[in-house]
Structure 1
């Protein structure tokens, strides 16, 4: 893969308006993205893994408070190389994606600053599968069995389909400019398990019924959404259940540190 054909990575590192994240408060920092996870600020950890993926070229970070993030050593070095730039965080996550996508070269991978367990191999697997399926837009998913095998406390909510239960990995794919319209699915913030009305808006009423009953396949649900958004939407099943565990609260923070420590011990051995 040449530099010209490499994937652009967009890392969402914004903060919620009006309140300090509890993890940031506990760590004594101003924003969640710089909370240390096993001694490394989470956004720096994610950037390290993204930058180490051979299929990824340019990197953009979407942030409301970029100055603090820009001082982190890995990020400062990549900025000096010209490989990493910042984009302005907006009030809504979808508008933040639009901000980050301005002037980028597609395809584009989207991940989050709290996705501390995704490895360069995980990003590579996602990219390879998206390209193989010629996806206009895609979302990464992990099977419930794999997530529980990674850590029983890692994830509590799963999407039930006919072919099994899955968890979102906070990994998304936009194949081109037209695919930005599919990002509207996330305007309400996602969390379809908690807010079924968002499924109706994104996928339609019949798909909500199939989703609730677990009678439809994930492929069928994405196929139906493809028609609504005019772009080929594809579910991408990933091989490692750890990729579905992000740092969302104290429970998942503890799980993430536990898994990272185990990785370090295995690597040292």
Structure 2
């Protein structure tokens, strides 16, 4: 595992938002909404991508925001982004045929560290982003993956998630938020170059993560921290889990149900903000 010193906490973090179409196909939500990309599907009256960019732009430690999408010109057609594009805060990057190459395209020439998320992560917030960046610095990690505890997710909304990763210490949901300290951490992404082919070729998963690690993960043997310590040894780098306090970040918009849930959480947030004024 790496023993490099931690990057200064004052260094700006580049955000990468993955907004391309999976396998080039139109998402069912996009078809229903009559738009070309899932990231343009309205959530609470606005394209979901705008919610994510608003959270990133409202975070002091986030610098450039790179949106990876097949046709970057789409961004300029969103009036809310024109000012951010004009001042260089938001830039478009052409998506590639697979997830890994899209991440690498987004990272090309970027200032590290990187914060990577998806355009459907509409409940991401500046406090959650700040919490993750601070946790990554404290852990002196090379890479990090954000999770939320089951109780936190269900507290945000009782239908927030229906599936959780079970470990000896608790059950967790992934928050579609990742952090990479420097370019050498990108080597972990190569594991996923085959993307969905893992489903057709399970032995590729075994080769990447190790059979024992997969058995432990599948049956919840050991804690989440234990599991990532094993992954770290496997990849010869420090990969840390970060537990976010806001369980809403684990609620991404994948279908009509989660879209309704996200809108309900947003409505609750608006009421709380108004009550606090």
Please classify the TM superposition score into its range, dividing by the shorter chain length.
Answer: over 0.9
Label 1:79 to 1:25 Cα distance change in 2 as closer, same or farther (>3 A): same
1:41 aligned partner:
47
Match of 2:84 among 47, 70, 78: 78
- 1:103 is the counterpart of 2:109: yes
Q: More deviation in 243-252 or 219-228? A: 219-228
1:194-209 equivalences in 2 (<5 Å): 200-209=206-215
Aligned residue pairs total: 269
2-structure distance, mates of 1:229, 1:76: 40
What is the TM-score with the length of structure 2 in the denominator? 0.90
Which residue of 2 is the match for residue 19 of structure 1?
25
> How far apart, CA to CA, are the structure 2 residues paired with 1:49 and 1:115?
10
Question: Structure 1's 81 and 21: CA in aligned 2 closer, same or farther, altered over 3 A?
Answer: same
**Secondary structure in structure 2 of the residue aligned to 1:142:** strand
Aligned to 1:215: 221
What secondary structure, in the 3-state scheme, does the structure 2 residue paired with 1:78 have?
helix
- Alignment RMSD (CA, Å): 2.4
Following TM superposition, where does structure 1 have runs of at least 4 consecutive aligned residues deviating by more than 6 angstroms? none
8 Å CA contact 2:18, 2:117 repeated in 1:
yes
Q: State the Cα deviation string for residues 30-68 of structure 1 (Å, max 9, x = none).
A: 111111110111111110110000111111010012222
How far apart are 1:17 and its partner, in Å?
3.0
Tell me the distance in 2 between the aligned counterparts of 1:255 and 1:188: 32
Structure 1 position 225 matched with structure 2 position 231:
yes
Consecutive unaligned residues in structure 1, runs of 5 or more? none
**Matched-pair contact (CA < 8 Å) for 1:203–1:221:** no
Q: Report SS of the residue matched to 1:170.
A: strand
**Equivalent residue, structure 2, for 1:252:** 258
Larger CA deviation: 239-248 vs 17-26: 17-26
Mapped to 1, the partners of 2:97 and 2:80 lie a distance apart of: 27
Partner SS, residue 99 of structure 1: helix
Superposed CA offset, 1:149-201 (max 9, x none): 111211122111111111000000010000001123444548x99x9766534
Would the alpha carbon gap of residues 117 and 34 (structure 1) be closer, same or farther in structure 2, given more than 3 Å must change? Answer: same
CA contact (8 A) 1:174 1:180 kept: yes
The answer to whether the 8 Å contact 2:118/2:176 transfers is: yes
Tell me the CA shift for residue 89 of structure 1: 0.5
Match among 121, 127, 140 for residue 121 of structure 1: 127
Counterpart-to-counterpart distance in 2, 1:156 and 1:199? 24
SS at match of 1:172: strand
Checking the alignment, whether the CA contact within 8 Å between 2:75 and 2:92 is kept in structure 1 is no
Q: TM-score, normalised by structure 1?
A: 0.93
